Amino acid sequence: MAEESLAQGPTHPFWLDPVEPKSRGLDLLGLRRPAQTIGSSLLDGITTATPAVRNLSLRTWLCWSYINARRPDDWGEFRQFSAHAEAAFALGIHLAAVDAQGVVGIDEATRVVKRETSEIVLEPYAAQIAMQIYANPSDQVCLTFPRDSGVPGITEERGVELAQLLQGVLRDSRIGYAIGRGETLHKVHRDELFEFGTLFGSTLNAEQENACLIDAILPSSPQPSEVPRLATYAMLLAVADKLGRAPKEDDFFQEIIDPTSTLPSSVLGQRDGWARYLIRDCLAVCHEATLAAVVLGIDQLQPDPASTVDKREILAWLVSESAAEAESLRKLGLQLPAGGIETWDIGHIADSLRSATDGDDSNGSLVNRWSGPTHEWAIEQLARSLGAGAPICLPIAWLLAKRRAERLIRECPTNALGSRAGWPRIGAKEVIAPQLAQLLDENWSFLEVVQWLIQRTVDQHLRIAWSRLKAEHPPRDVAAITSDGQRWCKRRSYSGGRTDSRIPQAISWLSQLGLLEDHGLSVNGRHVLERSMQALSSTQ
């Protein structure tokens, strides 16, 4: 735990800064996994299902209360204790009219309050309680730790102080006092719930609670495994300081690939890591948008869902739709060759992309960077906007991945864009670089490459669907389309999405902790940024 005191923070770590949801769903091409693997190595302690940072405080307090009461070391009893305590918490938060966004079980608690009168019977209000949902984040930021019995342990360095802060406030309510003694509650009165919720939403010890959470998530003396997380949060704070406002996800990634970035060398490894994430994410987005275009093509050419259609008809239609979007490639900063798209070859586009990405200044980085609009975020946005024309973006995504990864492939081939399972995951070293070299050597036309990549996308999807059908018990067919010789058939609707980086959730946590404000960094945010950069420098 840091010994220095933090500057004045907000009144309390409020529950949730709402995050705009993104398209998710199943990874039906298996291409999100490399990006997820990279992202998980750079940002732990948070998931897409943990929007409210203060649930870490609640979980830590419940663990401490149960252990301190010397209750049985049994997961079943501990889960019942936690589920009933969380139900009381959700009810109390609702009755006290405290901001309830991000409170697990709040919807059911709202219905119970309307239905019940003075005395309320407690029961779990969610299939997955906060104790389970926030388990990995709580363990990864070292507030708690897993144990074989299932009952979490609590760390002396970080968890105990946070739990005792909450206990000091909540013991003044009858429910808080009972939970603090390790009691499993079954019936409670509305007025007791109101008292409990009011105390939890109070500002007593709020600054200290904030400081405990900040010290756990952005530690001043990070363990080696915590350095990537600290660097990621520090970069987010630095971007906010540069912009003079709370950043968005695209602001972060723009800084990551900006060759003129002023981020210090102490975060270069993590900056390169997020660049690798973006490259892999771009490949996944473009291939998923292409699969969505194939499904759309089947719908267009054969509305009867029980019928098949000759894949050559679909490929021809998609190539035509893609060709109609040729001018959209100018948005990516590409100088298009003279003549119609039918006259282009892949070498023309490769030369144009190389010209648009000149001027790289690596400064010790393993990832190539350049200025201008030719970057992954722009390609993702374009691919997701073109509908049936999305396949035109795939050759650009492949060429860009090869260009970004040239130094990685040459100097660090075992870590080239998450290509450990290279061939089945379309690895940069194993698939993209050699395949592009062959296409360029054989002087394929640009539209031939588009068609080949559409077929490659369908093959990738079917391979993943078949492997999951074989591996899952009971078998579950997740295929969006099926293939029978030269004919394709639609199985279900499909809409491509993208990997969730958890950067929006991390930005929200920084806001909840009072480190970000509308104008950028708070006073405390600036202090934590400086402290974090010093800590990262000392780890070099």
Q: Which residue has the higher pLDDT, 114 or 474?
A: 114
Tell me the residue ranges of DSSP E strands in 224-310.
309-310
Please tell me whether residue 209 adopts helix, strand or coil conformation.
helix
Is the omega angle on the peptide bond into residue 373 within 30 degrees of 0, that is, cis?
Answer: no
Residue 9's contacts (CB-CB under 8 Å, 6 or more residues apart) are: 206, 207, 210, 211, 513, 514, 522, 524
- Residue 2 pLDDT > 60: no
What CA–CA distances, in Å, run from 128 to 4, 92, 132, 381, 434?
Answer: 37, 19, 6, 34, 46
* Rounded distance between C-alpha atoms, residue 85 and residue 82, angstroms: 5
Whole-number pLDDT of residue 332: 96
Do 210 and 13 contact (CB within 8 A), yes or no?
yes
- Token pair belonging to 103: 């409170």
Whole-number pLDDT of residue 527: 98
User: In b/e form, how buried is each residue of 516-529, taking b as 16+ CB within 10 angstroms?
Assistant: bbeebbbebbbbbb
32-81 tens-digit pLDDT: 999 999 999 999 999 999 999 999 999 999 999 999 999 999 999 999 99
Q: Using N-to-C axis directions, what is the helix angle for 190-200 and 75-95, rounded to 10°?
A: 90
Domain positions in the chain are 51-217, 268-490
Please tell me whether residue 482 adopts helix, strand or coil conformation.
strand
- Token pair belonging to 249: 């996800």
DSSP state of 192: H
Do 409 and 416 contact (CB within 8 A), yes or no?
yes
Residues linked to residue 517 through DSSP beta bridges, in sequence order: 520
Whole-number pLDDT of residue 359: 73
* Helix/strand/coil percent split, the chain, to 5: 60, 5, 40
Whole-number pLDDT of residue 20: 39
Whole-number pLDDT of residue 10: 40
DSSP state of 342: G
DSSP state of 15: S
Whole-number pLDDT of residue 319: 97
* Residue with tokens 């600290």, as numbered in its chain: 230
Q: Which of 11-15, 274-278, 358-362, 485-489 has the lowest mean pLDDT?
A: 11-15
What CA–CA distances, in Å, run from 336 to 174, 329, 521?
Answer: 72, 8, 42
Whole-number pLDDT of residue 242: 96
Do 246 and 507 contact (CB within 8 A), yes or no?
yes
* Rounded distance between C-alpha atoms, residue 462 and residue 459, angstroms: 5
Q: Using N-to-C axis directions, what is the helix angle for 159-170 and 190-200, rounded to 10°?
A: 130
101-138 tens-digit pLDDT: 888 998 888 899 888 778 899 999 988 999 999 999 99
- Residue 191 pLDDT > 70: yes
Whole-number pLDDT of residue 9: 36
Average pLDDT, the chain: 89
Please tell me whether residue 481 adopts helix, strand or coil conformation.
strand
Beta-carbon-side half-sphere exposure of residue 500 (alpha carbons within 13 Å): 18
* Rounded distance between C-alpha atoms, residue 533 and residue 520, angstroms: 17
- Residue 302 pLDDT > 70: yes
* Rounded distance between C-alpha atoms, residue 161 and residue 159, angstroms: 6
Please tell me whether residue 120 adopts helix, strand or coil conformation.
strand
- Band (500; pLDDT cuts 50, 70, 90): very high
222-263 tens-digit pLDDT: 999 999 999 999 999 999 999 999 999 999 999 999 999 999
137-141 mean pLDDT: 97
